[in-house]
Amino acid sequence: MNVKYMYSFLAVIVLFLIAYVGTEAVGLQWLFGVLIPYAALLVFLVGFIRKVMGWARSAVPFRIPTTCGQQRTLPWIRPNSIDNPSTAGGVVVRMFLEIVAFRSLFRNTRMTTKPDGRIAYQWEIFLWLGALAFHYAFAVVVLRHLRFFLEPVPAPIKLLETVDAFFQFGLPVVYLSGVVLLIAVAYLALRRVFIPMVRYISLANDFFPLFLIFGIAFTGILMRYFSKVDILSIKALTMGLVSFSFPDTAVLKGIDGLFYGHLFFVSVLLAYFPFSKLMHLGGIFLSPTRNLPNDTRMHRHVNPWNYPVHVHTYQEYEDDFREKMVEAGLPVDKPLAPAEAEKE
Amino acid sequence: MNDKGKIVTGLVIFAALVSFPFWYNLGKAAPPPEVVLTDKAKAAKECVLPKDEIRTEHMQLLDVWRDTQVRDGQTVYINAKGKSYIMSLSNTCLDCHSNYKDFCDRCHVYASVDPYCFDCHIDNPKETK
């Protein structure tokens, strides 16, 4: 038993019960359906911008050439212009690939000890695979949900739904992204529970978002395929949220508590986002080891937090002591002025 | 030196993307559509299942009907009230609700669902027995 994941797990269950009981028993549909989502979106946007602006205020560091390829040097040595870029274009390509393909994670290795005591490093691809599946499935799920927030639903969203439901099994047709999301997030959570080294470094704030997203996917799948909810009332509510013209309270009361649990999970995720590790959504763009070209030998980097230092240059030193230097027979850059020389 | 200009540009794009649904629907309320019942549907008064259930579960009922019909060869469905219906989208459902555009499509379009049932069943409304 580990308090870090048990507390996170219990927190998610309690959150669901708060919303479910709050709507089904207490009747706080306005609170959970309208007020909390608005508050959460506001916290998300303001918190996100504040956080990133805090990062923006800090100075750009010296280039950190943690590289994965040959640096640009002599003309006859072929440089790796993507993994060790020296130009802005190369950096753009490197950042793009990092963001869409998680190349840093692809290089993940695992250290093991062989039976004879030797240490070996293995290429470990499953974290990368799990992360890729998770992020892309989540992205598709989020984009698909735009059908509840846009009227009329634009063609690209419909196309995405068609592709997502490509295999046409089940009714309503099963969306692959939902299933992949649930499996991937379960893998990423169980990995932290069952691999001892990863469990050791996992904190409650690693488990909580995973369980929360699992809860979101789980309640979503439950609503779509098993315990049915009235989709038209839900779209009436979501369209009310984005157009500020809300449906009657009777419509809100008609929606099942399961939906409010789902919506409350999403609200909690949004409000929690700016204060958590999930800020890597914005942070990935500002990772200094990825977004700076390795051009330390081409451009002079002036330390941005340099304060003005009073420097006594050699020229000033010579001005101070020229006569004495000439007297002592030391070489000087600037000879003595003629008047002074005559005095000699 | 810092990259404030670039970062602010990125943040503006991000905020615009996140708030996109607010711009897209600007000022347009989109209440759920009203479906039109045909005279025949009105006369029948009740559907195969109670209104709330048929509204959320009709697609699963049809899925079960299809499987029962095709795999088990049963053709008659008896509901909780003991009333029996022929298990057929074209001959039972679309018999009363013959106004596809003003009934089925209204909600389906609003909720952006595009069931493949109607790939066949709308151009060929009457199955041959």
A341 reaches B (C-beta below 8 A): no
Question: For A72-83, what is each residue's pLDDT tens digit?
Answer: 889 999 999 888
Domain at A3-309: CATH architecture: Up-down Bundle (1.20)
Find the mean pLDDT for residues B108-119.
87
The nearest CA of chain B is from the CA of A218 a distance in Å of 19
Question: For A196-234, what is each residue's pLDDT tens digit?
Answer: 889 999 999 999 999 999 999 999 999 999 988 888 899
- The pLDDT value recorded for residue A279 is 95
- The pLDDT value recorded for residue A58 is 84
- The pLDDT value recorded for residue A152 is 86
- Per residue, what are the HEC states of chain A? CCHHHHHHHHHHHHHHHHHHHHHHCCCCHHHHHHHHHHHHHHHHHHHHHHHHHHHHHCCCCCCCCCCCCCCCCCCCCCCCCCCCCCCHHHHHHHHHHHHHHCHHHHCCEEEEECCCCCEEEEECCHHHHHHHHHHHHHHHHHHHHHHHCCCCCCHHHHHHHHHHCCCCCCCCCCCHHHHHHHHHHHHHHHHHHHCHHHHHHCCHHHHHHHHHHHHHHHHHHHHHHHCCCCHHHHHHHHHHHHHCCCCCHHHHHHCCHHHHHHHHHHHHHHHHHHHCHHHHHHHHHHCHHHHCCCCCCCCCCCCCCCCCCCCCCHHHHHHHHHHHHHHCCCCCCCCCCHHHHHHC
User: Could you state, in order of their start, the residue ranges of all structural domains in chain B?
Assistant: 31-121
Find the mean pLDDT for residues A252-274.
94
Task: Flag whether pLDDT at B127 surpasses 50.
Answer: no
A3 reaches B (C-beta below 8 A): no
On chain B, the residues whose CB falls within 8 A of the CB of A256 are none
Task: Flag whether pLDDT at B32 surpasses 80.
Answer: yes
Task: Flag whether pLDDT at B93 surpasses 70.
Answer: yes
Higher pLDDT pick, A47 / A295: A47
- The pLDDT value recorded for residue A39 is 97
Q: Do B56 and A168 touch (CB under 8 A)?
A: no
Task: Flag whether pLDDT at A111 surpasses 80.
Answer: yes
Question: Where does CATH 1.20.950.20 sit in chain A?
Answer: 3-309
